Structure 1
Amino acid sequence: MEYFRNLEETLKDVAPSNILNFDETNLTDDPGSSKCIFRRGVKYPERVLNSTKGAISLMFSVTANGSLLPIYVVYKAENLYSEWIQGGPRGTMYNRTRSGWFDSFVFEDYFNTTIMDWAKSLPGKKVIICDNLSSHLNVSVIELCECHNIQFVFIPSSSTHITQPLDVAFFAPLKKVWRAILLKHKMENPNQTTLNKNHFPKLLHSLVDQVEIYSSKISKADSEPRGSTHSTQEKY
């Protein structure tokens, strides 16, 4: 209850456009199981479809009025190649880490680009609702928040399934659409043993185009008070 009281007080008189929720998720290389149709009489039906345990990390950032900020993609790799950043959604940012997940350096780059572009364009108080990523925060990020009137509301641990707006309203339908896109891609490219990073940006573009219908759900959920790195931006 303390979290909700704090959230309600912090969001008081703040415009929906000034309320932001971000969350890290991943898109896997496994389209999951699905129903298949086989000729009558086949005793041992089998669908051969390559898949791996690989995944690509993404940070989604959405305002309470349903605006999707540029997506930030992190590949698991030592280097970032130009072929991996072509054809994605407008403004998408790309980076890489050895683990394939966000670390403090990549998070700072994400904050300096995606978050600060949003914050600098708006007057008045800004509020960010997110998981308790204290390990990702540093002095530089905190100073930026103080300079640009940004406040954090940290979601209590072990409660994101009911209190994280993107988890509640967006990621489930997003991943359902992703599995369908990935399945189609794998059926059209049966010789690929894993998801080719050269193809990922275009698949991501298709995913974003198809999930725009869920923006109203994001808006509703967000408005309820309950080594070295390198980044590249793709514009077309």
Structure 2
Amino acid sequence: MVSQPMKQGSLLFNTPKPEATSQAKAAGFNKVVVSHFYDNLRDIYEKFEIPQCDVWNGDETNVPTVMQPPDVIATKNFKQVSQTVSAERGAERGVNVMMLVFVNAIGSSTPPVFVFPRKKQNPDLIKGGPTGCLGLVHESGWMTAENFLLSLQHFHGIVKSTKEKPVLLTLDNHSSHIDYNVVKFAKDNGIILLTFPPQCSHALQPLDVSVFGPFKSALKKSHNQWLQDHPGQRISIKEVAHLCRVPYMEKVIPGNITPGFQKTGIYPFNRDVIPDTRYAPASVTDQPEIEQHATSDNVTEPRMTQDVISHPDGVFELEETREEVQISGDPATPTITLTDIRPLPKVSQTTPKARRSQKQVSRLGRTRILTNTPEINVIAEHHQRQSEKIEKSRRRLQPASEKINNKKGKQKIIIDMETTSNEDYSVKKKVNVTSTKAQSKKKVSLKQQNDSVSNDGDELIETPVISGEIRTRTGRLVKPSIYRSL
């Protein structure tokens, strides 16, 4: 939407289209949290003296089979314009494919990694894709810890980092990035992992700032051109890598990558690169001001305000401050500000805010240097707890037959046998199910309640029993009917 200037008095206004900002992002992206990220980044630069070519950023983006069509030229006043796509986004959103990209501060990039929603590998999925790209599969098509470990190994094979010559890799707090096996591999191979604070990647991640936008615009044109060259056909996941080749070569270039590192202040290091106006949405969590009106001209009166103090761990507290307000006594020079026209929204909280427990605070996402020893220990403990939960769930869902074999000591199972005919006789067989050592000492015993010869003269044969099967000499089958354990 084009901004239109509007003049009111001596002030000049315009009407731009605002960017949609969620409440979580408004509260999470604040100056205190961002400053903590820059503190970690400064500590890494001072400790390791990492050059520009070894400062990397990695992030995923989706490349679905259905993209919004690009802008077209139409006749003036012609409001309804249609453009063919593979499917309607409302009903059929197409198939989502994940693409992982690594770029560094000098503008270089590694071949991308694609994650396809499949169970088995298929070389045709990356046919015609960017040179050297890697194709992985998962049922959901999303990045997992196992696939990210393979991607990190692919990244390490290109950068050749070591503990003596480490590289810095910045990424978000996705669960696949902070897996124990991933962090351990990075630690052993000289890859320093620094995570962004939650809800801050739109301003701190170079790929989101200056690379993925131009790439998606070029990808829309690539999809549109393919549909024009193949009328009546639909784009499948086998064409995704091929359609990404040209946009990747044209847009993932130094002209787009390097400005992203500069605008975020990652390289060159500049912690003041983000203006204070970018933190304005965080003001919705401020408390309303309590002011007292002046009784005379040019009187300085105290004003009580409650400010929200943001901590790096994501905990917000209220703090009362006193500040001096200069009240102008000249009514001839009125001033109008934007907040007078439309005040900023404020959170109304009448009851004291409950403090989070230490366990709840530790679960909150935050900026972390994952390869530091204290962080590795925390991740290792979490990995151990998750492994124990999985093992307990596996034992609970274990079949009953496996539970019997795994138990120690002796158990008896009585199998009641009945004939298929109407003849009035039955056979009971007692089987001793013991541990491996006990089985070598005990033998399977067969006891009959009645005589070995039935009423019609059929004699039972004590042959090797297969699945509890017993037959008479005349061929009648005796089958198991009831299984119960003692």
Which SS does the other structure have where 1:197 is aligned?
Answer: coil
Residues 170 and 196 in structure 2, CA contact (< 8 A), matched pair in contact too: yes
Residues 174 and 211 in structure 1, CA contact (< 8 A), matched pair in contact too: yes
Residue identity opposite 1:138 in structure 2 = D
Question: 1:210-229 alignment to 2 at 5 Å?
Answer: 210-212=250-252, 214-222=253-261, 223-225=267-269, 226=271
Confirm whether residue 128 of structure 1 aligns to residue 169 of structure 2.
Answer: yes
Q: 1:174 to 1:143 in 2, by over 3 A?
A: same
Distance in structure 1 (CA, Å) of the matches to 2:82 and 2:157: 50
User: What residue number does 1:8 align with?
Assistant: 42
User: What residue number does 2:187 align with?
Assistant: 146
Residue identity opposite 2:213 in structure 1 = A
Residues 211 and 260 in structure 2, CA contact (< 8 A), matched pair in contact too: no
Structure 1, unaligned stretches of length 5 or more?
227-236
Counterpart among 31, 35, 49 of residue 68 in structure 2: 31
Structure 1 residue 150, shift from structure 2 partner: 2.1
Residues 114 and 135 in structure 2, CA contact (< 8 A), matched pair in contact too: yes
Residues 119 and 126 in structure 1, CA contact (< 8 A), matched pair in contact too: no
Which SS does the other structure have where 2:193 is aligned?
Answer: strand
Residues 18 and 122 in structure 1, CA contact (< 8 A), matched pair in contact too: no
Distance in structure 2 (CA, Å) of the matches to 1:77 and 1:53: 17
Distance in structure 2 (CA, Å) of the matches to 1:183 and 1:96: 26
Residues 86 and 201 in structure 1, CA contact (< 8 A), matched pair in contact too: yes
Structure 2, unaligned stretches of length 5 or more?
1-34, 262-266, 272-486
User: What residue number does 2:100 align with?
Assistant: 59
Residue identity opposite 1:50 in structure 2 = S
Structure 1 residue 77, shift from structure 2 partner: 1.9
Confirm whether residue 22 of structure 1 aligns to residue 58 of structure 2.
Answer: yes
Question: 1:162-177 alignment to 2 at 5 Å?
Answer: 162-177=203-218
Question: 1:52-131 alignment to 2 at 5 Å?
Answer: 52-54=92-94, 55-120=96-161, 124-131=165-172
Which SS does the other structure have where 1:181 is aligned?
Answer: helix
Residue identity opposite 2:260 in structure 1 = A
Q: 1:122 to 1:196 in 2, by over 3 A?
A: farther
Q: 1:82 to 1:224 in 2, by over 3 A?
A: same
Q: How many residues align?
A: 223
Q: 1:83 to 1:65 in 2, by over 3 A?
A: same
User: What residue number does 1:204 align with?
Assistant: 244
Q: 1:88 to 1:33 in 2, by over 3 A?
A: closer
Structure 2 length as normaliser, TM-score?
Answer: 0.42
Segments ≥4 residues shifted beyond 4 Å: 42-46
Which SS does the other structure have where 1:120 is aligned?
Answer: coil
Residues 98 and 115 in structure 2, CA contact (< 8 A), matched pair in contact too: yes
Structure 1 residue 219, shift from structure 2 partner: 2.0
Structure 1 length as normaliser, TM-score?
Answer: 0.83
Distance in structure 1 (CA, Å) of the matches to 2:80 and 2:219: 29
Which SS does the other structure have where 1:70 is aligned?
Answer: coil
Which SS does the other structure have where 2:39 is aligned?
Answer: helix
Post-superposition Cα deviations, 1:88-116, rounded to whole Å, max 9, x if no partner, equal: 11110001111111011111111122234
User: What residue number does 2:10 align with?
Assistant: none
Post-superposition Cα deviations, 1:61-80, rounded to whole Å, max 9, x if no partner, equal: 00111111110001112233
Using CA pairs under 8 Å that are at least 6 residues apart, name the structure with larger relative contact order, 1 or 2.
1
Residues 31 and 183 in structure 1, CA contact (< 8 A), matched pair in contact too: no
Q: How many percent of aligned residue pairs carry the same amino acid?
A: 21
Structure 1 residue 45, shift from structure 2 partner: 5.7
Structure 1 residue 82, shift from structure 2 partner: 2.3
Which SS does the other structure have where 1:170 is aligned?
Answer: helix
Structure 1 residue 217, shift from structure 2 partner: 3.0
Distance in structure 1 (CA, Å) of the matches to 2:67 and 2:113: 21
Distance in structure 1 (CA, Å) of the matches to 2:53 and 2:79: 58
Structure 1 residue 199, shift from structure 2 partner: 2.3
Larger Rg: 2
Of Structure 1 and Structure 2, the greater helix share is in 1
How much is the aligned-residue C-alpha RMSD, in angstroms?
2.6
Q: 1:44 to 1:174 in 2, by over 3 A?
A: closer
Distance in structure 1 (CA, Å) of the matches to 2:79 and 2:67: 26
Distance in structure 2 (CA, Å) of the matches to 1:152 and 1:97: 24
Structure 1 residue 34, shift from structure 2 partner: 2.6
Distance in structure 2 (CA, Å) of the matches to 1:192 and 1:218: 35
Structure 1 residue 8, shift from structure 2 partner: 2.3
Residue identity opposite 1:93 in structure 2 = L
Q: 1:173 to 1:44 in 2, by over 3 A?
A: closer
Post-superposition Cα deviations, 1:141-180, rounded to whole Å, max 9, x if no partner, equal: 2222222222111100001110111101111111011111
Q: 1:17 to 1:206 in 2, by over 3 A?
A: same
Q: 1:172 to 1:43 in 2, by over 3 A?
A: closer
Residues 160 and 167 in structure 1, CA contact (< 8 A), matched pair in contact too: yes
Q: 1:44 to 1:63 in 2, by over 3 A?
A: closer
Structure 1 residue 27, shift from structure 2 partner: 1.5
Distance in structure 2 (CA, Å) of the matches to 1:47 and 1:155: 38
